[in-house]
Amino acid sequence: MKITLLAAAAAIFIFSMPANGDGRRSFNVMDFGAIGDGQTVNSQAFLKAWKALCEVEEDEDGNIPTLEIPNSTFLLNPIKFQGPCKSNSIHIQVSGKILASKTIKTKWWILFTNINGLILDGSGTINGRGSHWWKTDGQSGHKKPRALQFHRCDNLQLSGLTHLNSPKGHMGLNYCNGVSISNLTIIAPEDSPNTDGIDISYSTQVNISNSNIGTGDDCIAINGGCSYININNVTCGPGHGISVGSLGEKGGTDLVENVSVRNCTFIRTQNGVRIKTSPGGSGYARNISFEQIILQETKNPIIIDQNYCNGHKCKEKKILSVQTSEAVKVSDIKYIGVEGTSDSEEGIKLDCAKLGCINIMMEQINITSFEPGKEISAYCNNANGTSTFTTPHVPCLLG
């Protein structure tokens, strides 16, 4: 009898606990008025939930504030999740679908800023519904928004979610140190313009692994101010490959170093592993390695392009580069174990500025034509270094 009473009391206690009833400091967007019908705009409800979440600390057992976005469809206007928060870590678990409204006038749809230890995960989907933006040409005054932006989010963890059809890039990391990204799926059509998968700038210690990215632009772009970026087991395609750059645009200074790209597969991409810098810029891209790369019908499998220009500014920049011979310095670049098929005749292209690409190292490269029997060649301009077991033969490298 006593035991039964105790159990009943315990049960009442457990079931009468507030929102954090499971001991995880848990909040659910539904409790803040969200309506998951795919039609109602939920920005206010999400912001209220965020405010509550951001103002609690983790408990003595280390349970961190958690926001549940359940398995329904939530329409969202542009929204800013602003930190710092009281807890050292904040968890947002997405089980449902988040849909972008069609009238976004900001640079980003969903902005996370100044949040330490943000964990964004779940099996849900973030859908930018970008198709109506892709048709606009940029001249018509429509600035396309990036779907997600993480600004000054240290110790960030992203995993599990599916990111679909962003109007522009799917996610940007800017001034984020200590980032782990895994198990993501990013999908947009091959012909959707500027839909980069992940754009990184001014960030360090960023790991990206076990993800599938197929878009209309770079799968991953590593921009100025980045170091210790590790990319492992990413499949890219369709898309423009994994790129360092472009660096030194508009005569700017960009620094990138200590980058490792390993065990990545490129399927029918426009580029495989690319370093692109613009004429007239300065800074460096150095100590970058690409290892265990598989290519399937890739247009430019290995490419360093120091004459990279975006659109109409190209001519002007080329003149500038001839006059100043300024360029981002490219050095200590390793390619180890790159195998597969090229969809263009030039399997390797090292097109460097006058001051040269220095210490390019190639080992165990085997790039053959996608079309059986066709020869593949390498192009070099102002590059030096070494090569062993490299097909096609790269004339500027000693080997």
Nearer to ligand NAG, 77 or 185 (CB): 185
Q: Which of 82, 182, 282, 377 binds ligand NAG (CB under 6 A)?
A: 182
What Rg value do the Cα atoms of the chain yield, rounded?
A: 24
Give the range of 40-48, 163-171, 209-217, 311-319 binding ligand NAG by CB under 6 A: 209-217
Residues 384-388: contacts with CB under 8 Å, at least 24 apart: 384/356, 384/357, 384/358, 384/359, 384/360, 385/333, 385/357, 385/358, 385/359, 385/360, 385/361, 386/360, 386/361, 386/362, 387/361, 387/362, 387/363, 388/362, 388/363, 388/364
Q: How many CB atoms lie within 10 A of CB 45?
A: 19
Could you write out the DSSP letters of every residue in 311-330? GGGHHHHHHHHHHH----EE
- Binders of ligand NAG among residues 351 to 370 (CB under 6 A) are 358-359, 366, 368
Q: Which of 28, 89, 159, 369 binds ligand NAG (CB under 6 A)?
A: 159
Question: Residue count at the site for ligand NAG (CB under 6 A)?
Answer: 34
Residues 72-111, one symbol each (x = binds ligand NAG by CB under 6 A, - = not), give -----------------------x----------------
Residue 381 lies near ligand NAG (rule: CB under 6 A):
no
Tokens of 322: 């001839």
The SS3 call for residue 293 is: strand
The question of whether 163 is a catalytic residue gets the answer: no
Q: Which of 44, 88, 123, 325 binds ligand NAG (CB under 6 A)?
A: 123
Nearer to ligand NAG, 40 or 310 (CB): 40
Residue 201 lies near ligand NAG (rule: CB under 6 A):
no
- Name the minimum Å distance from CB 232 to ligand NAG: 6
Q: How many CB atoms lie within 10 A of CB 96?
A: 21
Q: Which of 77, 227, 296, 377 binds ligand NAG (CB under 6 A)?
A: 227
Q: Which of 40, 44, 71, 323 binds ligand NAG (CB under 6 A)?
A: 71
Residue 287 lies near ligand NAG (rule: CB under 6 A):
yes
Q: What is the largest CA-CA distance in the chain?
A: 94
The strands making up 346-351's β-sheet, listed across from edge to edge, are 79-82, 108-113, 146-151, 171-174, 198-201, 220-222, 242-247, 271-277, 300-305, 346-351, 377-381
Give the range of 11-19, 75-83, 222-230, 345-353 binding ligand NAG by CB under 6 A: 222-230
- Name the minimum Å distance from CB 139 to ligand NAG: 38
48: enclosing H helix or E strand: helix 43-54
Give the range of 56-64, 224-232, 236-244, 298-306 binding ligand NAG by CB under 6 A: 224-232
Q: Which of 19, 82, 106, 160 binds ligand NAG (CB under 6 A)?
A: 160
Catalytic residue among 91, 151, 240, 312: 240
Residues in Cβ contact with 60 at an 8 Å cutoff, skipping those fewer than 6 apart: none
Give the range of 39-47, 131-139, 144-152, 174-182 binding ligand NAG by CB under 6 A: 174-182
- Binders of ligand NAG among residues 50 to 69 (CB under 6 A) are none
Cα dihedral 333, 339, 344, 347 in deg (nearest 10): 40
Which residue type does 170 have? Answer: H
363: enclosing H helix or E strand: strand 357-369
356: enclosing H helix or E strand: none
The rounded distance, in Å, linking the Cα atoms of 283 and 174 is: 19
- Name the minimum Å distance from CB 144 to ligand NAG: 27
Q: Which of 106, 258, 307, 344 binds ligand NAG (CB under 6 A)?
A: 258
Q: How many CB atoms lie within 10 A of CB 303?
A: 24
Footprint of ligand NAG (CB under 6 A): 71, 95, 123, 159-160, 178-180, 182-183, 205, 207, 210-212, 227-228, 230, 232-233, 235, 257-258, 260, 263, 265, 287, 358-359, 366, 368, 384-386
Residue positions annotated with a catalytic role: 240
